[in-house]
Structure 1
Amino acid sequence: MPAHQPDDPFEDRLSAALHRTGGAFDSPRTELTAAGARRGRRMQVQRRAAIVGSVAALALVGVGGSLLLPGGTPDASPPSLAGNGSKAATTSYSGDDVVRALVKLLPKGAFTETESRGTDEELPPLAVGVFDDGKGPASLSLGLDRIPADAGKIDPSAQVMPCPEDGQGDLDSCESGLLPDGSAVTVYQGYEYSDRREDTKSWGADLVTPAGQHVSLIEWNAPAEKGEPVSRPEPPLTTAQLKKVAADGVWRRIIDAIPEEERPTASAGGHGGGALMPDYVVMRKLALLLPKGLDRDAGVSQDGYGSFVVDDGKGKGLVQVNVQPGMSADAGQLFGSGAETLPDGTRVATRQEPGEKGGAGVVMWTVDTLRKDGLRVVVSAFNTGDQTKAATRAKPALTMAQLRDIALSPRWTSTED
């Protein structure tokens, strides 16, 4: 595996099982991505890039507890929710605060909490549970996080989950637009499984503000994203309601209370060259670069790394990318005499070898590239969806030519998608 690949890019949080937002989101498998976590594993709203064909994952841990929505026994918001939420403020919010704020914005019904987190925990704030408006229980997930600004600037339209291009994706509907305050929001209606092998629908809203506050709200028409039969024809909130809840100012105040943290850089790993590419950017770019016709599932990531389990109908395979800046000093060690040098100075090396994690019959195909500015992009494909288990197909789902196209794509050096 390429240098500096994390030992467990969430292997024990397998996206498909692991699930979405900071511990609780799992977007439409081929429809969105996100997945994440902060502090090296920031939350990645798994439905984001997925809408263009991606997915992310985070583990969901059941905690238990229940609350009544307005109409039952209302729970007043804590005084802290009225704070100004400035980054300099000492205000913090508990997981219960996040749940109470969500409950006040939902239609009349009952919300049974499964998991929640506040602003002072290792992973980003979230509230995950089952909402029942009297028409059937439905899983509901809210994830909050901050997108780090580049030189203090955020382009919400470039950061919000994109809608698929015409003819791509498997959504019933998807709309992206700007709010009066400049925030970008995408609202979509899709399915938990892109092949619709089950009737589980997944609808959501993804919102990014000019300040980098990121809100992801997702709902299903079943009491769980997976493993439970549908309990109602459609999820409970309409697209208009999803948009309204996601745009509420309370989430921005809570996100502003998340402690600022220094993001890891390549130099921290012994190499100079600037900050690692944020996980959600890696996932979005990889999703856009994967060949058409692949069912994408189980996406996981962290800064500088992203992967998807893909299936072309002939069996599952893993595809992963490492993006590392400041690697020029290592060119001699990484690229031998057999490496190719392109006219623009980019070095290219290819390898076809046995897998590294012991799975029976597993092979690993890799294209390793190093641009003149020191940016290293390494793309690998395996003939299994899990490197520790036996091969599920004779060859990886992507050819060496396709891996080469992904690794050499100008998207990796572009500020646009």
Structure 2
Amino acid sequence: MPEADHDSFEERFTDVLRDTGAALDTGRRDLAAEGAARGRRLVARRRAAVAGGVAAVALVGVGGALVLPGGQGGDGRQQSAAGSPKAGITTTAAETGAAKPAVSAASLLGTFKKLLPGGRLTQTEARGTDERSSAKNMYATPYVQGVYDDGRGKAAISVGINRVPPGTQEARQNTQCPDKAFIAYDSCSTTKLADGSALMILKGYEYPDKRSGTKLWRAELVTPTGQFIDVQEWNAAAEKDAPVTRPEPPLSAARLTALATAAEWRTAADAIPASQWPKPAPNEPKGPTGSVSATLAGLLPKGVEIVGKGNADPEFGYVVVDDGKGASLVQLNDQPDMRDVEGELFGADAKVLPDGTKVVTHRSAGDKDVAGIVMWTVDTIRPDGRRVVISAFNSGAQTTAPTRKTPALTLSRLEKIATDPKWNTLG
């Protein structure tokens, strides 16, 4: 559901896709790539509060994979590479309708080798803008990756190339530092470049609980015209299931910046077939809208203290509350029109309120990588398709150990908040 994606939905979505596809090695990269374009367009609508459990699984068939080759889930994980670029079906620039001449896999690999500092590069893979996915016979997202060794230990490095609708909330979210309530990291900064591009440098971890010591550093660049470059590097030869080979990934923040901002990647982004350029999400905010976090805070019961609160996001918000028994994260998504997935998320067993609102509840594990975290969720949809889904955890963050046995808010209280008429006044 970040991405973005830097939100917890994208993190969960990535995990679900990885788990369900673990046995499907052939074409897995292709499937991730082909779903990425539509998936990222849906990030703003299907975000953190559908994290985990039945809701996230139900959306796998709706939004497609959210992870680019070299792209991320909310924890910054890269989808494992299994497909080979040789499986692509080569086409000409005229056939693809590309905005500019196609950029081949060989050209991307040559650029990758040229831009990396002196060292040995092995286990390389690349896919150009002139290839199609063998899985669906559709255009595939370009990428390049390899295992780099500067003499201090092997490290996986990848560059993903795509486009986002320029000037949209989605474009902005790709370079916004994630909230530490959801993602564990050491440092993050976003810089506005002279040409108007936004660049985020994030130094984080492969796993939310930092287990195994695998670090993931990334640079994400979004230009004013919608070119999207995502560079990732690890301190291991693979993003998962590989031993740590060095204390830190090899490229410094300055090196990451230089790699992400190289003009060659922008040329490749422009060569992606114009027909595949994503359009703004149908519910892209067109003007000022209310803050979900502020509205959520105003609906909390007496007796709980707010010890943390999210920013003024128009669709997603959270608070961290403490009733004297420990911190508890409460997060909420307010999505304007979700009738397209109503049948998948609200079955015949859904409770129907007098005004026609449907309600389902879930109790599930909050994060499979953090022992003991539980998540209680109330998912609602009004007759006009407005979906309000709220979750509460028994921890102050999704990536930290439990602070209490159960969440601070009961399912009954969560339902009361989710069905409050105040949500009808936002956006």
TM-score (normalised: structure 1) = 0.57
Distance 2:123 2:315 in 1: 32
Q: Given the alignment of the two structures, is residue 230 of structure 1 paired with residue 247 of structure 2, yes or no? A: no
Task: Kindly provide the CA deviation profile for residues 28-48 of structure 1, in whole angstroms up to 9, marking residues without a partner as x.
Answer: xxxxxx996236646545876
Question: If each structure's helix is expressed as a fraction of its own residues, which one has the higher value?
Answer: 2
Question: What residue in structure 1 maps to residue 268 of structure 2?
Answer: 254
Q: Given the alignment of the two structures, is residue 203 of structure 1 paired with residue 217 of structure 2, yes or no? A: yes
Match of 2:149 among 132, 139, 153: 132
Question: What residue in structure 2 maps to residue 171 of structure 1?
Answer: 185
CA RMSD of aligned residues (A): 5.5
Question: Which segments of 5 or more consecutive residues in structure 1 lack a partner in the other structure?
Answer: 1-8, 27-33, 66-79, 266-273, 279-283, 294-311, 313-318, 342-346, 356-362, 382-393
Distance 1:38 1:320, change over 3 A: farther
* Residues 163, 227 of structure 2: 8 Å contact kept: yes
Distance 1:55 1:208, change over 3 A: same
3-state SS, counterpart of residue 212 of structure 2 = coil
* Residues 165, 171 of structure 2: 8 Å contact kept: no
Match of 1:370 among 371, 382, 391: 382
3-state SS, counterpart of residue 135 of structure 1 = coil
* Residues 35, 44 of structure 1: 8 Å contact kept: no
3-state SS, counterpart of residue 215 of structure 1 = strand
Distance 1:88 1:259, change over 3 A: closer
Structure 1 residue 92: Cα displacement: 0.8
Aligned AA (1:113): Q
Question: What residue in structure 1 maps to residue 282 of structure 2?
Answer: 275
Distance 1:114 1:406 in 2: 48
Structure 1 residue 23: Cα displacement: 3.5
Match of 2:228 among 214, 217, 222: 214
Structure 1 residue 167: Cα displacement: 7.7
Question: Which segments of 5 or more consecutive residues in structure 2 lack a partner in the other structure?
Answer: 1-12, 40-63, 87-91, 133-138, 286-310, 365-374, 393-404
Structure 1 residue 88: Cα displacement: 5.8
Match of 2:116 among 92, 106, 126: 106
Distance 2:77 2:319 in 1: 18
Structure 1 residue 132: Cα displacement: 0.7
3-state SS, counterpart of residue 38 of structure 1 = helix
Question: What residue in structure 2 maps to residue 37 of structure 1?
Answer: 36
Pairs within 5 Å for 1:319-338:
325=337, 327=339, 338=352
* Residues 215, 246 of structure 1: 8 Å contact kept: yes
Task: Kindly provide the CA deviation profile for residues 59-98 of structure 1, in whole angstroms up to 9, marking residues without a partner as x.
Answer: 4116599xxxxxxxxxxxxxx9xx9xxx864511222222
Task: Kindly provide the CA deviation profile for residues 91-129 of structure 1, in whole angstroms up to 9, marking residues without a partner as x.
Answer: 112222222111111101121134322113333111122
Task: Kindly provide the CA deviation profile for residues 212-249 of structure 1, in whole angstroms up to 9, marking residues without a partner as x.
Answer: 11111111111111211111111110011101110111
Question: What residue in structure 1 maps to residue 45 of structure 2?
Answer: none
Question: What residue in structure 2 maps to residue 61 of structure 1?
Answer: 82
TM-score (normalised: structure 2) = 0.56
* Residues 325, 375 of structure 1: 8 Å contact kept: yes
Question: What residue in structure 2 maps to residue 349 of structure 1?
Answer: 358
Distance 1:258 1:406, change over 3 A: farther
Question: What residue in structure 1 maps to residue 302 of structure 2?
Answer: none
Distance 1:411 1:49 in 2: 30
Question: What residue in structure 2 maps to residue 162 of structure 1?
Answer: 176
* Residues 335, 349 of structure 1: 8 Å contact kept: no
* Residues 23, 58 of structure 1: 8 Å contact kept: yes
Distance 1:292 1:60 in 2: 37
Distance 1:335 1:212, change over 3 A: farther
Question: What residue in structure 1 maps to residue 18 of structure 2?
Answer: 13
Q: Percent identity?
A: 32
Distance 2:354 2:227 in 1: 43
Distance 1:237 1:168, change over 3 A: same
